[in-house]
Amino acid sequence: MTLTPGSHVLVTGGAGYVGSVCATVLCEQGYRVTVIDDLSTGNRAAVPSEATFVEGDVLDAAPSVLADDCAAVFHFAAKSLVGESVETPAKYWHGNVVTTLQLLDLMRAAGVDNLVFSSTAACYGEPETVPITEEMPTRPTNPYGATKLSIDAIITSYAAAYGLGATSLRYFNVAGAYGEVGENRAVETHLIPLVLQVAMGFREKIFIFGDDFPTADGTCIRDYIHVRDLADAHLLAATSNEPGTHRIFNLGSGDGFSVRQVIDTCREVTGHPIPAEVAPRRAGDPATLIASSARAVADLGWRPQRSDLHTIVQDAWSFTAGLGDRAHAARR
């Protein structure tokens, strides 16, 4: 089925951070969006008001959504905490691999052949060189990355045998916000939102996990990509998917920033001194992760517009400061 504005699309996990920004952009572009989310980690408030929202298990809810003239599926629903995946791998193999396999079977049964799959740089593990291209070895260092990589093998074979048209997007460090939608998790582990919580006065300081890595200032280097730019890539992927083809793209800015550079940018943007203290390394952190997105630029025509670090932090800060205002307003 051709995908054009007006088409019905399913967004699983559309109450989560990246999923809700994509759902918002799809609504803005005129698509008819149904979000399925069990709200285990997502926020109901992040689902755009124009979307139909179904609260519940993806596999329970998907058949009727797919049967309703559904042209494409954007599959975000997943377990995504690295540490938790090490402690409870069963939750990840079932929640990610088994659920996606069953969703693919439901799509086949309903004749829906267009998929965009939310994947991760964790598929590559510790790289030998950067920037990381899609041809480089995939050696995930935790079950989370292994589940996402395994799903790609399933998708590839379903594309070849059953005519599925699919794209897997391997995100590097997603950050920033889009309007009222940003990072707002019950348990936060990511650098930028945590640093901004210090600027908000919710935390006393930020801990820098290791300053003895082989990088210029000793702290880890990551490639930060704006969530709004990611949303564009999802749309470009869905509208160019071809039956029988599975494409894989890395999505990053191609620039790396150290933990100290991120904290300095947050100081500039917020005007807050943001106390920082060096702490031991976090298990499993590679020193440097930088994407090559050359393939996405060439094949999808993807043009990131907002992925310079200052804009990312500025947008994240506007969102975080707004959250504080909204919480304050709710208390009055």
Q: Which of 144, 171, 178, 224 is catalytic?
A: 144
- Shortest CB 180 distance to ligand UDP, Å: 22
Strand ranges (DSSP E) for the chain?
Answer: 8-12, 32-37, 52-55, 70-75, 114-120, 165-171, 173-175, 206-209, 221-222, 224-226, 246-251, 257-258, 276-279
- Shortest CB 194 distance to ligand UDP, Å: 5
161 burial via Cβ count (<10 Å: 0-12, 13-18, 19+): exposed
User: Given the DSSP bridges, would you call strands 221-222 and 257-258 parallel, antiparallel or unpaired?
Assistant: antiparallel
- Residue type at position 142: N
Closest CB to ligand UDP among residues 65, 225: 225
Closest CB to ligand UDP among residues 150, 288: 288
Nearest to 38 by CA among 2, 22, 9, 14: 14
| 144 flagged as catalytic | yes
Closest CB to ligand UDP among residues 147, 241: 147
Closest CB to ligand UDP among residues 103, 191: 191
* Residue found by looking up tokens 């990072």 in the block: 183
Cα dihedral 237, 127, 135, 159, rounded to 10, equals: -50
Separation of alpha carbons 300 and 307, rounded Å: 17
Nearest residue to ligand UDP, scored by beta-carbon proximity: 220
- Shortest CB 24 distance to ligand UDP, Å: 22
CA 56 centroid distance within chain: 21
- Shortest CB 237 distance to ligand UDP, Å: 22
- Residue type at position 294: A
Catalog residues that contact ligand UDP under the rule CB under 6 A.
Answer: 173, 189-191, 194, 206-209, 220, 222, 259, 282, 285
Phi, psi at 124, each rounded to 5°:
-90, -25
Closest CB to ligand UDP among residues 72, 174: 174
- Shortest CB 213 distance to ligand UDP, Å: 8
Residues annotated as catalytic are 144
